[in-house]
Copies of this chain bind each other. A is one copy, B any other.
Amino acid sequence: MTNTNATFGLPRGMRDIEPLEMARKLWVEETITKSIRGFGFSFVEPSPLENMETLVAKSGEGVRNEIYGFKDKADREIGLRFDLTVGLARMVAGKMDWAKPIKLAAISNMWRYDEPQFGRYRCFYQWDVEVFGVAGVEADAEVISAGVGALESLGLKEFEVRINSRELVEGLLEEAGVSADKTSSAMRAIDKLAKVGKAKVLSELKAAGVSEKAGSKVLELCGTRGNLKDTVKLVKVKGSNGKNEKIASGTAKLEKLAELLGAYGCLDRCVLDLSVVRGIDYYTGIVYEIYDTASPELGAIAGGGRFDGLVKVFNGGDVPATGIAGGIERLMLSLEKAKAYPRILEAAEVVVVPVNEKMYNEALKIAAKIREAGISCDIDLLKRNLSKQVSGAAKKGARFAFIVGERELKEKKVNVRNLETGKEELKGLDEAVKYVKGN
């Protein structure tokens, strides 16, 4: 993918997106856009550049070091956005006159200045769906369903939504004997469980001042995982049987959420997973991550949660919010592994092939008619010989060659060659167009 030309290479971590990948990416984005619009979300594009103070306001240390920042020509500290959520929240904070609920969506690129790895670049894409102005779990259910709907619309079948509540986890930590001032560090430790394993998390909890006994209990709790509805009940009983306020409130919301997700028709995909706490500091309340269960090694293909405090950070008043986002590149890996891509053309479906130079202009006229009928159509601009025209088009993925010679022209026909089967047949243009559409 990278440009190997030494003199005019690309900046570190950058890449070009080439035809096949781009065709797939456009299909993914078009499909997701249509699905998300189905839920009544309005697409927007927040500014790709932000003042550094906006980006660091509530993102937390982990992200701060990865911001692709620079000084502009006027010596101002600027950064390329690292996600869409911050920009959307900052945008809403500046539009307090907009009627709520505000349902926004975006698909665009973002940037992280970290060490490039195989398949991981400094500029990448995400889809993002957010509801502003709704404190109730109705909004969480809506964004989770919109996320599930988007993935289903792509033909992805094997995936699950792992849901949790930071409020519930806080309550459980309390009950396990972790003092309030250590909750934050404990959460950060838990967030790493899948990546670093139990032993490492235990030692990190210990370093944060959590006793070994409490730490073990926390880890045991984090192992709790099962279908959303039943497991919430179980945790409620096991937790403190209703005596801890945070546990009571957290589980009540999760129960309500399960009921709503049932009405949306996506409860079957949802599990409670107490180890899901999300790494970015702006999250509060309910959080969730979506995993491809056929390719769990990819990590979360989407994730999100409540960020009730973020709009206020940008001087926008008290606007509760919840949202979900997913990486396009990772999703595309998932779709490839699942063989979920439909037939996607990199170039034209039909090539019009003049048998000699004299036929070129006539072939152009035929090409124009084919395009009018809604079929993509190429012609060899180098005017090479017939066999080179056909083989060149086949390499680019064309499915049919419409060969135009003097005899065909006189009969107002084209010689249709199916490039997959090699079969050739003389057809009138209307008939040929129908044939392409039907095959």
A16 → chain B closest CB, angstroms: 5
Q: Which among B15, B33, B40, B123 is the interface contact of A26 at CB below 8 angstroms?
A: B33
Given contacts A37-B376, A316-B5, A383-B138, contact A46 B263 (CB under 8 A): no
Enumerate 9 A-B pairs (CB-CB under 8 Å) in ascending A order: A5-B94, A5-B315, A11-B50, A38-B371, A40-B347, A41-B347, A48-B123, A138-B383, A263-B368
Q: How far is the CA of A84 from the CA of B3 in the complex (A)?
A: 16
Contact yes or no, A39 B138, CB < 8 A: no
Contact yes or no, B44 A11, CB < 8 A: no
Residue of B nearest to A54 (CB): B8
Q: Which among B38, B53, B368, B379 is the interface contact of A8 at CB below 8 angstroms?
A: B53
A428 → chain B closest CB, angstroms: 20
Residue of B nearest to A397 (CB): B42
A350 → chain B closest CB, angstroms: 9
Segment of A17-25, A181-189, A203-211, A226-234 engaged in the interface with chain B: A17-25
A71 in the interface, Cβ–Cβ < 8 Å? yes
Quick one: which of A203-261 are within 8 Å of B by CB? Answer: 259-260
Given contacts A314-B5, A380-B101, contact A78 B11 (CB under 8 A): yes
Give the interface size class of chain A. 35 or more
Residue of B nearest to A41 (CB): B347
Nearest 4 Cβ contacts at the A-B interface? A40-B378, A40-B348, A19-B42, A3-B94
Given contacts A46-B16, A134-B382, contact A51 B149 (CB under 8 A): no
A43, A53, A113 pick with most chain B CB within 10 angstroms: A43
A303 → chain B closest CB, angstroms: 21
Quick one: which of A255-271 are within 8 Å of B by CB? Answer: 259-260, 262-265
Residues of B within 8 A of A71 (CB): 70-71
Residue of B nearest to A36 (CB): B376
Given contacts A8-B93, A10-B49, A365-B263, contact A43 B16 (CB under 8 A): no
A431 in the interface, Cβ–Cβ < 8 Å? no
Given contacts A11-B72, A19-B42, A142-B379, 19 further A-B contacts (CB under 8 A): A5-B94, A5-B314, A5-B315, A8-B315, A9-B51, A11-B47, A11-B78, A16-B91, A23-B42, A38-B377, A40-B396, A47-B123, A48-B123, A99-B396, A138-B383, A142-B381, A260-B364, A262-B361, A263-B361
A3, A40, A113 pick with most chain B CB within 10 angstroms: A40
